[in-house]
Amino acid sequence: MPSSGRSPTTPPGRAAAAPRRSRSLSPPWKSGWQPRNVLNSLWQEIFLPESRKPDYKLVKEITVLCQKVRCCNLSGKERSKLLTEALRKMDGKYLEIAGSPVAASVLKLCVQWCSQSEMDPVFVALQPHLLDLSRNKDTGFLVNYIIKGASKEQFALFISSLHGHVASLLHHTIGASVVDRAFHQATRPQKRSLLLELCSTELQLSKDLAQEKQCRLSVLNIISKHGLQKSSVLQHMTTIIQPVLEKGIVEYSIVHMVISEYLTIADKTSALDVIRQLIPHLIQGSSVLDEDVIGQLIPHLTPTKSKAQKKRSKAKKKRSSELLLIRIMQTKEGLKLGLACLKHGLEKDRKRIIKSLKGHIRKLALNDYGCLFVICRLSIVDNTELITEVVVDELTKHLKELIFDKNGRRPLLQLFHPLCSRYLTPRELFYLNYNVPSPVSKVNLDGESDDVADKEHGGSEDTLVVSDSNPIKRRQVLLVKSELYEVLVETCIENVGELLRANFGKDVLYEVEKNNFLEGVTDRIHVLHNAIACDAARPRTDDVDEHAFDNYHSSRIIRRMVLDCPAFAATLWKKALEGKCKLYADGFSSIMVAAYLESPDSRVKDLAKAELQPLIDGGILKPQEHKAEEEKSAMECSSDDSSELSDTDIADYAKKAYTDLKSGKLVARFGTDRFRCPFCPGKKQEYRYSDLLNHAIGLSASNHAAKVKANHQALANHLKTDHADAATSSSMPVRHKLRH
C-alpha cells in the first residue's frame, strides 16, 4: 500500500509536520564563529579549546617567564635577562599579545621593568592603537604603564593623539583612568590643552592657547580673556559632566577640577543639582576594575603571586573598597568638592555623609587634606549628637596618636582656637573658607554669616548658613559634654614631658592648659599645671632627656604659657624658678625667664621683679627691648635681598654685618654649642657650630641675592674668627625646624 505521506500517529486532516532539525551541540568555533573584535578575546580564552587559541604556546612560554620574573629572590641582572627574552619572543606580535588578558598582564610586567630602549619598539607598535586599548578593561592598565614609562617625546605624541577624544574617554570607566594618568604626568601647557577641550568646542580648534604661560587654569579667566560666551561654555561643560555623574566616574582629579571650574560659572540651580548628584557617589566605594579581575576569570594562566605581591594586592583591594570621599582627599580639588558638598548640601545629605564616615575619622584626620574636611564638619554643628557619636568619639579613641601628629592635632586645636593662623597656613585657611559662588555669597566657619544670609534668617533650605548659637557654647558642648576634654587632660598629664618637647604636641598642651573658656574642669587643669612645673623643676643633671628650659620647643611653649596664663606662671615660679633664675638666665631658658617681666599681668611681674631686676642690671639677663632691636637689625640686614650690589658693595656690606656680629648687636651663639643664624629669623632653627658654618659657607657661595651672600659671608668669618673654640664641641643633639 503506498504511503500517504503521514506518519502513523498523525491525526487525519492534519498535514505532516516537517522533520525536526536536530539541535547541534557542537561549540560555536566549529561552525566558523569568530569574535567580532580581536581585542575582546576574553571570549577566546573562555570558549576556545587550548589547541585553537591563537599564540597559545607563546602565551604559555611568556607566562612561565613572568612567573620567574616575579620571584622575590631574583637579582636585577637575572630579571633583566628574563624580560629581554620575553620581549624578544613577543617581538612583532605586541598588538596580538595585548589582545589576550593573560598575555597583556605579562606585557604590562615587561613594560614596567624594561629599559627605555626595550620600551621604544613596544610604544611604536601600540601607539596607533592606544586609544582603543584605553577603552578596554583588560588593556587599560597596560596603557597606564606605557604612559608612565614613555619618554618626553613619546608622551607628547600620546597627548596629541588625545586631542578630540578627552570627553569621550572621560565618559568611559577605564578610559577616564587613562586620561587621569596622563593629566597627572602632563606639563602645565599639556594640562591646559586637556582642560580647554572640556571647556568649549571653540577652544579645541586653537592649539596656540595651550602654550600661553600666563593663563591660569581657570574657566573665568579663559572666558574673559578670549571673549567666549558664558552660556555656550556652560552648556558644553554640562554635556560633559552629566554623563560622568550618571556613570559615577568621579574619583579622578581631572574630573574634580572640571567640576570645580563648572561650579564657578554655573547658576544656583545647576550648581546645587551637580552637588546633590555628587554626594551619593562620594559615600560609596569604587566601581573601577583592575587587572586582578583577569586572574579571577582565568586562574589557570595567571602567574602565582608572592607573599609581598599578595599583601600589596590585598591593600589595593582594601583601598578600592573604601569610601570615595576618603580617597579624593588626596588632592586639593577633591577637598574642594568635599567641602562644597558639606557646605551646600541639604541637612539630610550632611547626615548621610557623617554616617558614612563612621570608623574612618582617624584616617581622615591624619591626612593633609582630610584633616581640613574634619575641621569643617566640626565647625558646622547642625546635629551635635551625631557629630559627637561619629567624629568626637573616634577622636577620643585615638587621642594619643592624634595629638603628636602634624595633621591629627588640627581638629582638636580647631575646637580650642578656631581658624588660628598659628596652626593653619594661609592656603589651608583659604580652603576652609572656600564656597561655591552661586549657592551662597559667603559662609564663615564658627563666625557670623554675611548680610544676605542674615536677611534670609538662617539661609535658604538649599544652602548652609552658620548656626545662630554661640560658637564658644557649641565648642564647649563638643569638648566637655562628650568627655573629650576630660580624656584630653588626662592624656596630657600622663605624657606631659613628651608633649612639652614635641614639635606638634606642645600646641595641644598649650591650648588645654590655657583653658580660657571651658568650665567645670578647673581642678584637673591645676593638676596639669603642677605636672608641667614638676617636669621643669627637675635638676639638669638628673634629666635623661634635655631639660624643659633648655629644649627649643618646650622653652618657647612655656614662655607662651607664662604670658597667657597667670595661674600657671605662679605655679611654675614657686616650684621651679624661685631662687634659681640665675641658672636659667642664659640660652633658650632666658626667653622663658624674661617672660615674667613681659607678662601683661601685674601680679606676675611683681612676683619675679625682685629676683630678675638685679640680673638685668648686671647684664646677665637681656631684656625684651634689646631682643626686639636685635631682631629688627636682623630683618634690616635681610631686607631688599633682591637688590644688586657690586663686588665692592658686597665687601662693605659684609664688613658692616661682621661689625654687628662682633659688637653683639646680632647674636649667633647661645651657650656652649648652641648657634642660630641671625640672618634667617624665619627658620627658627638651632645648629651645631659645624652645621651653622656649613650653612653660612653654602649660602655665601650660592646663587642667592647679593645681600644674602654678604650677610652669610660675614657670619662664616665671625664663626671662624670669634668662635673657634666651639669647633670641637658636639654635645648638642640635632634640632628640627619649627614652624610658627
Mean pLDDT score, 565-580: 93
Q: Is 515 left (phi over 0), alpha (psi -120 to 50) or beta?
A: left
- Residue 271 confidence class, pLDDT cut points 50, 70, 90: very high
Asked whether the predicted pLDDT for residue 338 surpasses 90, the reply is: yes
Query: What mean pLDDT is predicted for residues 622-628?
Result: 55
Burial group, residue 639, by CB count within 10 angstroms (0-12, 13-18, 19+): exposed
What Cα–Cα distance (Å) separates residue 661 from each residue in 606, 636, 668?
34, 14, 8
* Per-residue pLDDT at 707: 78
The yes-or-no verdict on residue 391 having pLDDT over 90 is yes
Q: What is the DSSP string of 550-606?
A: TSHHHHHHHHHHHHH-HHHHHHHIIIIITTTGGGGSSTTHHHHHHHHHH-S-HHHHH
What pLDDT sits at residue 459? 37
- DSSP three-state, residue 168: helix
Distance between CA atoms of residues 79 and 736, nearest Å: 41
Question: How is the chain split into domains, by residue range?
Answer: 34-161, 322-482, 486-622, 628-728
Look at residue 701 in the predicted model and tell me its pLDDT: 64
Mean predicted confidence (pLDDT) in 543-552: 82
The predicted-structure confidence for 612-622, as pLDDT tens digits, reads as follows 989 888 888 87
What is residue 685's predicted lDDT score, i.e. its pLDDT?
A: 74
Where does the pLDDT of residue 58 fall: very low under 50, low under 70, confident under 90, or very high at 90 and above? confident
In the prediction, which pLDDT does 318 show?
Answer: 53
Cα–Cα dist 594/601, whole Å: 14
Distance of CA 261 to the CA centre of its chain: 20
Tens digits of per-residue pLDDT, 507-545?
999 999 887 556 667 888 999 999 999 999 988 875 567
Q: How does residue 490 score in pLDDT terms, banded at 50, 70 and 90?
A: very high
Per-residue pLDDT reduced to its tens digit, 644-689? 444 555 677 788 888 888 877 788 887 666 788 888 865 567 787 8
pLDDT at 374: 95
Looking at per-residue pLDDT, the higher value among 300 and 46 belongs to 46
Give the pLDDT of residue 732. Answer: 40
pLDDT digits (tens, 9 = 90+) for 212-256: 554 456 788 878 877 888 888 899 999 999 999 999 999 999 999
pLDDT band at 30 (very low <50, low <70, confident <90, very high): very low
| Residue 37 pLDDT level (bands cut at 50, 70, 90) | very low
Q: Is the pLDDT of residue 23 over 70?
A: no
Interval 142-151 mean pLDDT: 93
Q: Is the pLDDT of residue 7 over 60?
A: no
Across the chain, what does the average pLDDT equal? 78
Round to whole Å and give the CA distance between 192 and 212: 9
Q: Is the pLDDT of residue 24 over 50?
A: no
What's the grid cell of residue 711?
A: 650677610
Could you give the C-alpha distances from 582 to 351, 555, 569, in angstroms and in order? 59, 16, 17
Compute the distance between CA of residue 45 and CA of residue 63 in angstroms, rounded to an integer: 14
Mean pLDDT, rounded, for 492-509: 93
Q: pLDDT tens-digit profile of 411-468?
A: 999 999 888 888 998 889 989 988 888 765 444 455 443 333 333 333 334 444 444 4
Residue 94 grid coordinates: 605586541
Q: What pLDDT was estimated at residue 266?
A: 92
Q: Which residue has the higher pLDDT, 209 or 343?
A: 343
Evaluate if residue 290 carries a pLDDT over 60.
no
- What's the mean pLDDT in 173-197? 91
The stretch 122-128 carries a mean pLDDT of: 94
User: What integer pLDDT is reported at residue 410 of this predicted model?
Assistant: 95
Tens of pLDDT, residue by residue over 303-316, are 455 555 555 555 55
pLDDT number for residue 196 = 86
Contact partners, residue 484, CB within 8 Å, separation at least 6: 392, 395, 396, 399, 415, 478
pLDDT of 734 reads 38
pTM of the model: 0.71
Confidence grade of residue 571 (pLDDT, cut at 50, 70, 90): very high
Position 175 scores a pLDDT of: 94
